Amino acid sequence: MNDKVIVIAGSSAGIGAALADTLARRGAKLVLVARRKGPLSDLVSRCGAGSVGLVADMTDREDVKRVVDETIARHGRIDVWINNVGRGISKLPTELKDEDVDLMMLVNVKSALYGMQEVLPHFKSRGEGQIINVSSMLGRVPMVPVRSAYSASKHFLNALTANFRAEVQETHKGIQITLVSPGVVATDFGNNAVYGGVDSRSIPGAQSAEDVAEAIAGAIESRRADVYTRPDGREMVVKYFSEL
């Protein structure tokens, strides 16, 4: 991990901020990306001299290109790119409007697609690199109807990640595309969901953001393709589908 150049998109709070703290302690050179300048500046100060903040909207492809270019200009390379931008929504599937679905696709899918596509030429030129897409257990098991559009967007992200990996690794085996699936995490995710929602920190069994960050750090070290942050994650998926 020492001296790896790692870009974390969506780093100003929650999993992203916890991950920044975790990787900074392990000696990574961090490029922290978020829309909000104030929280981002605070995080950079906390992570130390090896970190830099870039204010950018990762749902804007031009901003994503700028982050790639500025990171390479500063460090000469990117080793790991982490797509951690996401937002929830609280609406039953029978009540969804076009704009609800469009927003989930923009934030949860297109932000990751832009990151993957824009960093890929750099990784191909080096013959190595790792992209990490932060998904959700709801992208595996669509078991919360009020999270329908969020869950659907994460299913889309999962399929996109797997197919992107298959295509890229046909010619560039040294490039890994990793999918990480957290369960409920004790952050402001629920409070910040469109139309509001249950505070994620009040849900029994919620993981800490720090535990999820450790799992993502482990994915960087192991370069595994598919990672569950809960030890019982795979069993939960099998159990869900076996009971249908």
Domain ranges in the chain are 5-242
Model-level pTM greater than 0.95? Answer: yes
With 0-12 / 13-18 / 19 or more C-beta atoms within 10 angstroms meaning exposed / middle / buried, residue 24 is buried
First to last CA, the chain: 42
Q: Which of 150, 195, 228, 240 is catalytic?
A: 150
CB 139 within 8 A of CB 151: yes
pLDDT tens-digit profile, the chain (244 residues): 789 999 999 999 999 999 999 999 999 999 999 999 999 999 999 999 999 999 999 999 999 999 999 999 999 999 999 999 999 999 999 999 999 999 999 999 999 999 999 999 999 999 999 999 999 999 999 999 999 999 999 999 999 999 999 999 999 999 999 999 999 999 999 999 999 989 999 999 999 999 999 999 999 999 999 999 999 999 999 999 999 8
The first and second tokens of residue 79, run together, are: 């080793």
Q: Please tell me the CATH superfamily of domain 5-242, with its number.
A: NAD(P)-binding Rossmann-like Domain (3.40.50.720)
Q: What's the half-sphere exposure (Cβ side, CA atoms, 13 Å) at 100? A: 20
* Whether 228 is catalytic: no
Round to whole Å and give the CA distance between 48 and 40. Answer: 13
CB 146 within 8 A of CB 91: yes
- What's the DSSP call for residue 229? S
Round to whole Å and give the CA distance between 36 and 44. Answer: 12
The first and second tokens of residue 48, run together, are: 């130390």
- What's the DSSP call for residue 118? H
